[in-house]
Structure 1
């Protein structure tokens, strides 16, 4: 896979380059910022020139280290619809996760930087995002679930259904969910059908995006916006 990296920490940037290339990927560019502040190409220029199949960005980039990375990610998803984007963050920042999820369609990842240390899981996430999946860090999923835990629709879910919901939102397949919960795939399918019904969502091949949309929908406390019911995030 052709991958572009935008990360201001030289240590992490070079570590990602080596990790990804050792795994058989090609790093087409490794930038320290999104705006070409160090005299290199800007992120937009580098993407246009190298045509990556996945972009990995830090949430906080120079010069202010506030939201440059997330704004760059949103701009990429708007200008290059369908381009998979993986955002790395030092901490769980729900607002940024929500902005990404409710933005343009396309494969998406939002992971904590600590996850990079688990090489197997990180590379698996990279592969899944590159293949079109949506993968959220378990900590982000947990916060999205608990912040609106009293919502009447989430309250209808059983403990097992909430566990399945969290794993779906992390981008897990039915097989992976079954293995994680030590149940059969048939049981997982039944739980998914039930929780989709309780959340008022249609079940289809874009189920994980619908669940993510529902979580953000509940997080914002808006039960009337039809955007999330029409599959706009597919």
Structure 2
């Protein structure tokens, strides 16, 4: 799987390159700012781009601007955004502008090498990956008549883990629950969020995206 990296911090770029190379990726290029990233993607056509959300010259969301531009000419390229802090407004924009093949993770998550490389592969495959801290913060923002207010504390916990791409088996392992109990929580989330049964193949992603777009 071919990857390009974009971050103004050279040490972080080199660290990411080493992590991904050791995990079997081919790092085909690195960039230090948004224009260089866009040119790199045009030239190399990677499977996925790992992008710092804040880059020169303004350090104010250039990574997302570059991601939007990349999606216009290379729609198949997965886009993994990394951020130093949870920035809800940037995450909302990311989820609003893209239907899939995107991710938003805190840079601290990179140190969990197995999870990080698995998340990069999921984004490259067209899935949506969201940092659990971001999801928890969004779920905590209560709105009047918000369907997410119907969720129990346990269902919100399940939703946060679903946003990380966990299957039902993964939820069972993380929460130490039986398969039947997990299935019940997942069904309840879909019901409370008014997700129709005919959307079964996409409801895990829709459960997260519907809240972000609410």
Q: Would the TM-score normalized by the shorter structure come out above 0.5?
A: yes
In 2, Cα distance between the equivalents of 1:206 and 1:114? 28
Higher helix share: 2
Query: Aligned to 1:211, which of 188, 200, 207?
Result: 207
| Pairs aligned (count) | 212
Q: Matches of residues 3-42 of structure 1 in structure 2 within 5 Å? A: 3-35=3-35, 42=36
Q: Which 4+ stretches in 1 moved above 3 angstroms?
A: 149-152
| Structure 2, unaligned runs of 5 or more | none
Provide the TM-score with structure 2 as the length reference. 0.92
- Quick check: 1:159 aligned with 2:153? yes
Deviation string 1:132-187 (CA, Å, 9 cap, x unpaired) is 32111111101110012664422322222222112112222111111111112332
Match of 2:200, SS state, is coil
Query: Aligned to 1:114, which of 96, 108, 111?
Result: 108
In 1, Cα distance between the equivalents of 2:85 and 2:145? 25
In 2, Cα distance between the equivalents of 1:165 and 1:101? 16
Please report how far the alpha carbon of residue 120 of structure 1 lies from its aligned counterpart in structure 2 after TM superposition. Answer: 1.9
Provide the TM-score with structure 1 as the length reference. 0.84
Q: Which residue does the alignment assign to 1:192?
A: 186
In 1, Cα distance between the equivalents of 2:72 and 2:180? 38
How well do the aligned residues superpose, as a CA RMSD in angstroms? Answer: 1.6
| Structure 1, unaligned runs of 5 or more | 36-41, 219-234
Please report how far the alpha carbon of residue 195 of structure 1 lies from its aligned counterpart in structure 2 after TM superposition. Answer: 1.3
Deviation string 1:31-60 (CA, Å, 9 cap, x unpaired) is 11121xxxxxx3222112211000010001
Q: Which residue does the alignment assign to 2:72?
A: 78
In 1, Cα distance between the equivalents of 2:146 and 2:57? 43
Q: Check the 8 A contact 2:6/2:37 in 1, yes or no.
A: yes
